[in-house]
Structure 1
Amino acid sequence: MAVDPASTGASLLLPAIIILPVAAMLLAFLLGERRTVLTALAVTPIGAALAAAIAYVVWRDDRALVYVIGGWSPPLGVALRADGFSAAMLVTAALIISVTGLFAVGLFGVNKGERECRTSFAFWTLLLALWAAINGVFLGWDLFNLYVALEMLTFAAVPLVCLDGRAATLAAALRYLLFALFGSALYLLGATLLYGAYGALDIGLLSSQVRPEAAAWVALAAMTAGLLAKTALFPLHLWLPPAHAGAPPPASAMLSALVVKASFFLVLRLWLNLAPSQMSEVAAQLLAILGAGAIVFGSVLALRQARLKLLIAYSTVAQIGYLFLIFPLAVGTHPWAASAWVGGAMQAVSHAFAKAAMFLSAGLIAQALGHDRIAEFRGLGRVAAPAVLAFALGGVSLMGLPPSGGFTAKWLLLTAAIESGQWIWVLVMAAGGLLAAGYVYRVIAPALEPATNIPPAPPASISSGGVALALVLSMTAILLGFAPTEFSRLVLVGAPGAKTEFVR
């Protein structure tokens, strides 16, 4: 799977989508704090257009798009590569960052006549850095450059957790940082071992050289353990709930929707693109067991939470688990592998939109009530009906109810599990759906009851623009259930193993 060094005009889109947010971040430092908001908002639609163009080219040509930096082919040079899955994630990241950026104007914007605020400047520059790092992860094809992108992502995400400077959020950010640095050290150790054993860091070159031997097992095990810590997969999830729940709503939305997906994406790269099939089949079952534990454990803990943002954060722990069920179902060239791959891609995308919508909705609810204590939500529908609706629509996708994207994703994974005879994963997904219904019901049921002690909210207490943005995200998660066959065709471009025919 060596990289074709031929570069086309379209391949220049790959470095452009990484350079754009970096250039905007540097420009923000030159223009000053007051223009940082305008700079960030100006580049987000351009980045979304670049992501859409990359996805279109990959879909049109039915092959991965490759750019070789400087014209030097690996192993001497470094390649960027966009296959169908990475193209879909680039579009998802661009859209979510664009919407959450607009939402954040109400919290981190600087109005005319107001004093400039370092918190505002920090948020917008960190948003741009996070976006550049995520794009680097989705396009990276070199293990060391992926390490650089991961580190950039960590040092952009951690400060977003503690922007308010409170002791609780500082403690959560520090715990996140320690887990992330531990994960980075293990990842770098594994990459070093692979380079020492095979003399290459390019994933395409390594895939033709790695053998099921001790050096490869140790290296891939170390890298996987590090990435699982960054993904917050059970039982390495301890840092995620306090970090995501304590961050400002737009930061929580990006952290839960995108940041944890980056390290999961690299686990996919390691075991389904790099490792030989003999190794992938062994690792797949262990990864799926951890995913099943995350689904059950995260859902049960979500049911027990007293605060809305903590409930959503533990829900993220649970929903991450579904992503790891792709491993035992998509390994090899079996007839069901294509369904599993498309289902996993749909789960990653639909969860991103649903979870971003739910965190933004939680911020709007807290804005209306002054708190997010679920026990005091009786009559919430009278105060913040649109925010409750956006939360409920996101919950529909998490539960896997039709016609949402979550339903399509879980149906495809269930179909693959049944066709492959792996019934244990069917039971796990069914239990996860029921538990998700339980914790979503915990919020919606009291919100729809008659109000008791909640006074009507003044018209200005909830941003109408913020409500509209949350609804856009939640409706996107629902409408993904109607995604045409072209979505399946896109995410199967460059999929590992033989590309089998997929029919919706």
Structure 2
Amino acid sequence: MLLAFVAGGRHAQRIALGALALWLVIAFAIALQVQRGGAPLAYLIGGWQPPLGMALRADGLSAAMLLTGAVVLLAVALFGRAPYATPRGAQETRAAYAYWCFLPALAASLAAAFLGGDLFNLFVALEMLTFTALALACLDGKPSQFKSELRYLLFALIGSVLYLLGAGLLYGAHGTLDIALLAGRTRADAPTLVAGALMTAGLIAKMALFPLHLWLPPAHAGAPAAASALLSGLVVKGAFVLLLRLWFWVLPAPVVLNGGTLLAALGAAAILIGSVVALRQERLKLLVAYSTVAQMGYLFLMFPLLAAGDAETASRAWLGGVLQAVSHALAKAAMFLGAGLIAASLGHDRVAALGGAARVMPITVIAFAMGGLSLMGLPPSGGFGAKWLLLRASVETGQWWWSLVILSGGLLTGGYVYRIVAAALAPPAPGCEARPVPRAQELCVLALALASILLGLVPLKDLGLVRVGAP
């Protein structure tokens, strides 16, 4: 990021693309090493052992999310080559300069959030994520962007304050914030309960879980397509990974057993209400944004399933939840990039007037539909594998009501995906002319959508990476 900041212009683009390509190679190497070794990797910064020092830890969860983040970020960076390029001899624009500087910053923030082993340093990583995402969301500099992103900033800062208060309570009660050390020290006492409640509230505010989702749809409505893809696909996943670490590594078992149902209830409300509101939207980006609110709810259904099942069922629920996070990141990034291309081609994103889009950009519409299939949970997509595992776990633990929520959410998702595809396949309205978009951008969208589908074809035994170091 610093090199891109100093170099500027076309050099910043080359530096960012090279760094993100290298990050993908490193993330793949880490995932391969974790899977082959069957145990998490650990690195002591400066050689100091916790609690005096800090440790970076790569287990199956962090390795899978790191690899997912590298894939999505590189695809978004390649997508941005057309709108944020600096041609030879042209003057550099502020938006292009910020874009290529903040993409590596977002990568660093995600790496810190996925690999961190200390609750305070994970707080720092979340702050880095917030401010890099905020800068990318305001690239165009429009007043409407500042208004919606200010709401995002206020929610994020309130969440940070709550999280930091809880971290302070944990430190005062146990003398450390290292996750591995806290795992054997916490008890169901008052400081731990209050700390867990504060930190959980702060994290779900950053994740936009219902009913703390009010910042997310306006933030997407005014943000560029690339920023929306990163915000929905990756940024909220940083808080989700930290929430998993807090609940299943730090908090005592009675808290997890009793509180998991409450989080799942909020997730179920997010699925149903978010999907119904998405069905009623007249703007494409707002529809996809409310879809994010709904899809995030599936991640919370794993909490009571993990707590109530035997080892095999809990392992299945864990794999389903993490697979849902990965498949959602790929599919939703593809859908937001596709929505941006459709809006750029037609000059608007009104759902009722999308006619003709499929004729001008069939690749984009097909990729959008493929992402929607993954969100619906239809085979052979990654979303199907995730939802099937959660369905089985809910039945096996006797919590069949969560399976009804999953099935209902899939039907509602099919409703709003059908609205978009049907409108795009309709003939164009009189006087409406769609402009062609760069083929390279369409291929980036297609690659992400294909990845979300092909993820479902990977045999479950080959997804053992996710189980390495699982709680």
Q: What is the TM-score normalised by the length of structure 1?
A: 0.92
Question: Residue 51 of structure 1 aligns with which residue?
Answer: 27
Among 453, 477, 497, which residue is 2:452 paired with?
477
Among 272, 288, 299, which residue is 2:264 paired with?
288
Distance 2:94 2:341 in 1: 23
Question: Residue 20 of structure 1 aligns with which residue?
Answer: none
Check if 1:328 corresponds to 2:312: no
Counterparts of 1:18-97 in structure 2 under 5 Å?
25-97=1-73
What amino acid is the match of 2:365?
V
Distance 1:310 1:452 in 2: 22
Structure 1 runs of 4+ aligned residues shifted over 2 Å read 449-458, 484-488
Is the 2:378–2:384 contact (alpha carbons within 8 Å) kept by the matching residues of 1?
A: yes
Distance 2:107 2:218 in 1: 22
Distance 1:32 1:312 in 2: 33
The one-character-per-residue Cα deviations of 1:51-81 (angstroms, maximum 9, x if unpaired) are 0000001000101111111111111111111
Counterparts of 1:335-354 in structure 2 under 5 Å?
335-354=312-331
Distance 1:244 1:455 in 2: 25
Question: Residue 255 of structure 1 aligns with which residue?
Answer: 231
Q: Judge which range, 158-167 or 462-471, deviates more.
A: 158-167
The one-character-per-residue Cα deviations of 1:300-340 (angstroms, maximum 9, x if unpaired) are 11001111111000000000000011101112661310110
Do the aligned partners of residues 318 and 342 (structure 1) sit closer, same or farther apart at CA in structure 2, a change above 3 Å counting? same
Structure 1 residue 457, shift from structure 2 partner: 4.0
Is the 2:376–2:413 contact (alpha carbons within 8 Å) kept by the matching residues of 1?
A: yes
Check if 1:419 corresponds to 2:396: yes
Structure 1 residue 130, shift from structure 2 partner: 1.1
Check if 1:439 corresponds to 2:416: yes
Is the 1:161–1:172 contact (alpha carbons within 8 Å) kept by the matching residues of 2?
A: no
Taking only the aligned residue pairs, the percentage that are identical comes to 57
Counterparts of 1:389-408 in structure 2 under 5 Å?
389-408=366-385
Distance 2:307 2:125 in 1: 27
Among 324, 334, 337, which residue is 1:357 paired with?
334
Question: Residue 245 of structure 1 aligns with which residue?
Answer: 221
Structure 1 residue 486, shift from structure 2 partner: 4.5
Q: Judge which range, 376-385 or 168-177, deviates more.
A: 376-385
Distance 1:219 1:117 in 2: 45
Check if 1:269 corresponds to 2:232: no
Check if 1:107 corresponds to 2:83: yes
The one-character-per-residue Cα deviations of 1:192-228 (angstroms, maximum 9, x if unpaired) are 1000000011011111000001000000100000001
Structure 1 residue 456, shift from structure 2 partner: 5.6
The one-character-per-residue Cα deviations of 1:313-368 (angstroms, maximum 9, x if unpaired) are 00000000000111011126613101101101110000000000001111111111
Distance 1:185 1:220 in 2: 13
Question: Residue 146 of structure 1 aligns with which residue?
Answer: 122
Question: Residue 135 of structure 1 aligns with which residue?
Answer: 111
SS of structure 2 residue aligned to 1:336: helix
Structure 1 residue 487, shift from structure 2 partner: 4.0
Check if 1:298 corresponds to 2:274: yes
Among 463, 467, 471, which residue is 1:492 paired with?
467
Distance 1:175 1:416 in 2: 37
RMSD: 1.2
Is the 1:386–1:467 contact (alpha carbons within 8 Å) kept by the matching residues of 2?
A: yes
Among 390, 407, 419, which residue is 1:430 paired with?
407
Do the aligned partners of residues 103 and 375 (structure 1) sit closer, same or farther apart at CA in structure 2, a change above 3 Å counting? same
Among 347, 357, 360, which residue is 1:383 paired with?
360
Q: What is the TM-score normalised by the length of structure 2?
A: 0.98
Is the 1:295–1:432 contact (alpha carbons within 8 Å) kept by the matching residues of 2?
A: yes
The one-character-per-residue Cα deviations of 1:418-477 (angstroms, maximum 9, x if unpaired) are 10110110111011001000010111112223344265645xx21100111100000100
Provide structure 1 residue ranges, at least 5 long, that are not aligned to the other structure: 1-24, 497-504
What amino acid is the match of 1:444?
V
Is the 2:395–2:403 contact (alpha carbons within 8 Å) kept by the matching residues of 1?
A: yes
Structure 1 residue 152, shift from structure 2 partner: 0.8
SS of structure 1 residue aligned to 2:83: helix
SS of structure 2 residue aligned to 1:358: helix
The one-character-per-residue Cα deviations of 1:123-147 (angstroms, maximum 9, x if unpaired) are 1111111111111010011011111
